[in-house]
Structure 1
Amino acid sequence: MATGDTAHRLACSGVADIAWRAPWLEPWRTPGQAAARRVQEGLAVHRALQMAPAAPVRLVPQSALPVGMAYEQFIFDTGAVPTRDNLHDFFNGLVWLQFPQAKRRLNQLQAQAIAAHGVGPVRGPLRDALTLFDENGALLDAPAPLWQALVARDWQRLFIGLRPLWRQARLVLFGHALLEKLVFARKSVTAHVYCAPIAMKSEANLDAWLARALQPAHLSRKPFAPLPVLGVPGWWPENERVCFYDDPLVFRGPRALL
């Protein structure tokens, strides 16, 4: 069990600041609140998460990772996820609990790339895409006009002209770094969104689909669209004002062709 001092440091570093009623945390609320409560009561993060009913993954303390061994390779070889006592790894473990198949697939692809090319100072396009999605990804199930406007970065159409269509859409955040950033939400927080052309009726349904969809050739092309998540209708009170979207530093236009 973590000491009282450790639990206090964890609480100060953000676990106690998670606003579980935030709309983007709806899929994570039930397991997340229970785990956060256990952390604040004194448990280390890996133990607090591991206590989830029928936990589909084995979380271990960071000290279990041998010095000099690649993190992804260790997970692939042992099936265990090294977990530090911080907010970043709290969310990583939470995503492992909710999306075990997709997380295993990401790890498998990372381990295969490491085996083929080594760790190296440069990841390469596939590992870059895997890391980007793992850290900052989100999944959008939405009517085609919304996706088209998002890809085009036509923010006025996406968030104002097509605003009623958002009632038919569902955005699920996947990246643990993304979830961490939103604990102290700011307008510029941007997800890299992957199109989920299925009805996302449950996380289990979505997990199985995503594990199959994560294919190297497709991922290497980085098929993600940037989305400032606080622009999503209903996710942030300030976006009820049209001028919220008149910020070119956040809602950037398409990149100019060279």
Structure 2
Amino acid sequence: MSLAAVDWAQPWLAPYRAIGQAAAQAALRTSVAAALQRHAAPDSRPAFVPQSALPAGQAYEAHIFQTGTVPTRDNLHDFFNGLVWLAFPEAKRRLNELQAAEIARAGVGATRGPLRDALTLFDENGAVLDAPEPLWRALAARDWHTLFVTQRALWSGARLWVFGHALLEKLAAPRKALTAHVLRLPAPAAGGSAASCDGALARSLAPDHLAQKPFVPLPVLGVPGWWAGNAAANFYDDPKVFRPGP
């Protein structure tokens, strides 16, 4: 799918819509890096640069940390990565800091190791949930009927932010099975804003905790209001997507 075909009315794009629509149009005329950089705050780090700025053999995350620049290709994947940087700068900087520290400590090998693996998983496919306790308990138990049917009304007081840029790319062509790796927001986000979520998330990203992969799977199109089909209770009667807990 191209940038021109992104449906900015979709609810998961709400944190990115204001900048994303304008940046997508600009990227079609120039480049993704230039379009994102136009929307970055003055003197903010990192800056968005063309992919050619990444030296051959240099680790991507280490390069971002060392230079304060994000090498960016002209594709949907890197476009969404840039939007997440703009919407959640503190959390993205924290992830990058932890990645760079691990690379400095252990180098780049055939495998990433448990911490870098978890950081990459969340960066690519993560989401953040701020929800009433009954919803979180049901999600942790994979009790889908309670989560989405009997306690459905509680979702009016919940917020889910899709953070992973690869997941945002996949959601450009929505499929029922698309599933996020969810972290619970440790404190309510004031006003339900991305900015307040950003700070709380960044402060919660502790390496020892992340290395345990404390993520809970959530098929995102099951969220009330996120997909028309889920208004029917039998939408969730699909064990290939809404799998029972361990």
1:242 Cα deviation from its structure 2 partner: 1.1
1:171 Cα deviation from its structure 2 partner: 0.5
Between the two proteins, the alignment pairs up a number of residues equal to: 242
Secondary structure of the 1:138 match is strand
Deviations, residues 65-98 of structure 1 (Å, cap 9, x unaligned): 0000100110011010000000000000010111
Structure 1 residue 209 corresponds to structure 2 residue 200: yes
Q: Is the 8 A contact 1:14 1:183 kept in 2?
A: no
* 2:58 corresponding residue in structure 1: 69
Q: 2:31 aligns with which of 32, 38, 44?
A: 44
1:53 Cα deviation from its structure 2 partner: 5.3
Deviations, residues 227-257 of structure 1 (Å, cap 9, x unaligned): 00000001000001111111111000112xx
Deviations, residues 160-179 of structure 1 (Å, cap 9, x unaligned): 01101001101111000011
Q: Is the 8 A contact 1:136 1:175 kept in 2?
A: yes
Q: Is the 8 A contact 1:238 1:244 kept in 2?
A: yes
1:199 Cα deviation from its structure 2 partner: 2.3
Q: 1:150 aligns with which of 129, 134, 139?
A: 139
1:212 Cα deviation from its structure 2 partner: 1.2
Structure 1 residue 192 corresponds to structure 2 residue 181: yes
Q: 1:112 aligns with which of 91, 95, 101?
A: 101
Q: Is the 8 A contact 2:186 2:200 kept in 1?
A: no
Q: Could you tell me how far apart the structure 1 residues matched to 2:167 and 2:40 are?
A: 25
TM-score by length of 2: 0.96
Q: Could you tell me how far apart the structure 2 residues matched to 1:189 and 1:14 are?
A: 19
* 2:4 corresponding residue in structure 1: 16
* 1:219 corresponding residue in structure 2: 210
Unaligned runs of 5+ in 1: 1-12
Inter-CA distance 53–106: structure 2 relative to 1 (3 Å threshold): closer
TM-score by length of 1: 0.92
1:128 Cα deviation from its structure 2 partner: 0.8
Q: Is the 8 A contact 2:221 2:230 kept in 1?
A: yes
Q: How does 1:115-126 map to 2 (within 5 A)?
A: 115-126=104-115
**Cα RMSD, aligned residues only:** 1.0
Deviations, residues 21-56 of structure 1 (Å, cap 9, x unaligned): 00111111000001011122x110000111115263
Q: How does 1:243-254 map to 2 (within 5 A)?
A: 243-254=234-245
Structure 1 residue 180 corresponds to structure 2 residue 172: no
Inter-CA distance 115–34: structure 2 relative to 1 (3 Å threshold): same
1:117 Cα deviation from its structure 2 partner: 1.0
1:198 Cα deviation from its structure 2 partner: 2.2
Q: Is the 8 A contact 1:129 1:219 kept in 2?
A: yes
Q: Is the 8 A contact 2:123 2:163 kept in 1?
A: yes
Q: Could you tell me how far apart the structure 1 residues matched to 2:40 and 2:240 are?
A: 43
Q: Could you tell me how far apart the structure 1 residues matched to 2:243 and 2:211 are?
A: 24
